[in-house]
Amino acid sequence: MKPDQGYGAHLKIRVSGLSAGSHEYSLTVPPSEILLEDNFNSPVTVEVRLEKSARQIVVRVKISAAGEFPCDRCLNVFRQGLSAGYSMVYVFDELDAVTYPPEEVRVVHRDVSTIDLTDDVREMILLSVPLKLLCREDCRGLCVSCGADLNTTTCDCRQDTTNRPWQGLEKLLKH
């Protein structure tokens, strides 16, 4: 590995010597390069549009990734595509930073040579993972008695209706 490679080496954009104006980049990185877990097993695609001016650099990023996750209802592992995007403004003067929301601006030295997108891309991928992971919207889950996958089989378990935790509240709703 070359000295300039390593963690996020492919997500560093050289901006020193870059002319003013709009520039586009299409980057692909292995998930391990941005320290994603093993369940992310396909390359991460990052589309970048960079606009450089004398006072700032505006970066707009679109990210595509995929991972394998266990379903929250049936526990079967399934593949989930993920997409995310963000914008970041890099300014050279602290006074210019106050015109942007704090989460969308970074102050950098005028002589900055590269902009590293690695941590932001990793964070956006992790934030794009749904809180409720379902293999499909109509997943029926597992039988609470025998554990059978109700998506692929039916079970003969009798559902116990005598021990329902909301039974008392149901009586109140009927009145």
Delimit the domains of the chain by residue range.
9-137, 140-175
pLDDT of residue 4: 42
Angle at 159 between CA 153 and CA 163, to 5 degrees: 150
pLDDT of residue 163: 60
Detail the DSSP E strand segments found in the chain: 12-14, 21-29, 44-52, 56-70, 77-91, 105-107, 114-116
pLDDT of residue 6: 53
Q: Which residues of 29-42 are buried (b: 16+ CB within 10 A; e: fewer)?
A: bebebbebeeebee
pLDDT of residue 1: 32
The whole-angstrom separation of Cα 73 and Cα 143 is 10
Q: Which two tokens stand for residue 175?
A: 């009145």
pLDDT of residue 155: 87
Measured CA to CA in angstroms, residue 166 lies from 15, 68, 161 at distances of 61, 35, 11
Strands 12-14 and 21-29: unpaired
Q: Determine the straight-line distance between the first and last CA of the chain, rounded to whole angstroms.
A: 73
pLDDT of residue 3: 35
pLDDT of residue 159: 63
Nearest to 64 by CA among 22, 14, 28, 37: 28
Which distant-in-sequence residues (6+ apart) come within 8 Å of 89 by Cβ?
56, 57, 58, 59, 100, 104, 105, 106
The stretches in the chain having pLDDT less than 50 are 1-5
